């Protein structure tokens, strides 16, 4: 595991009653969390009781969702973790119109 990956030892999918039905592509309980991407117009995890480092990522997602104008720009965990200030012109990795589908939870386990 490198420095940009968040360790999720104590978080198990069965600790969230919404895990199977949640539409948030960036799920801290999913094994692919460190590799998933999120777009500003997608859902955000609403689970409570998460570690501080994950809560910071979720707060950053909410700020981006409110302020971003480029909805076709993706963000991954390492980007979200390193963003210090969210401004209106924030953009993620790609600004093209071809979105890759987000993997379904549990299939890449």
d(CA 109, CA 93): 25
Per residue in 73-102, pLDDT (tens digit) is 899 999 999 999 998 888 888 755 445 555
Other CB atoms within 10 Å distance of the CB of residue 106: 12
Query: What backbone phi and psi angles, to 5 degrees, belong to 76?
Result: -110, 175
Beta-carbon contacts of 44 under 8 Å, excluding residues fewer than 6 positions away, are: 24, 26, 38, 58, 61, 62, 65
pLDDT of the residue at 17: 82
pLDDT of the residue at 109: 43
Give the mean model confidence (pLDDT) for residues 45-59.
Answer: 90
pLDDT surpasses 80 at 45? yes
pLDDT of the residue at 2: 56
Q: Which residue has the higher pLDDT, 86 or 30?
A: 86
């Amino acid at each position: 595991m490198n420095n940009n990956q968040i360790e999720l030892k104590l978080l198990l999918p069965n600790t969230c009653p919404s895990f199977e039905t949640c539409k948030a592509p960036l799920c801290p309980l999913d094994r692919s969390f460190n590799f998933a991407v999120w777009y500003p117009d997608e859902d955000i995890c609403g689970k409570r009781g998460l570690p501080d480092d994950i809560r910071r990522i979720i707060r950053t997602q909410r700020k981006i969702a409110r302020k971003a104008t480029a909805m076709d720009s993706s963000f991954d965990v390492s980007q979200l973790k390193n963003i210090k200030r969210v401004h209106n012109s924030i953009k993620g990795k790609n600004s093209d119109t071809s979105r890759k589908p987000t993997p379904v939870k549990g299939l890449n386990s």
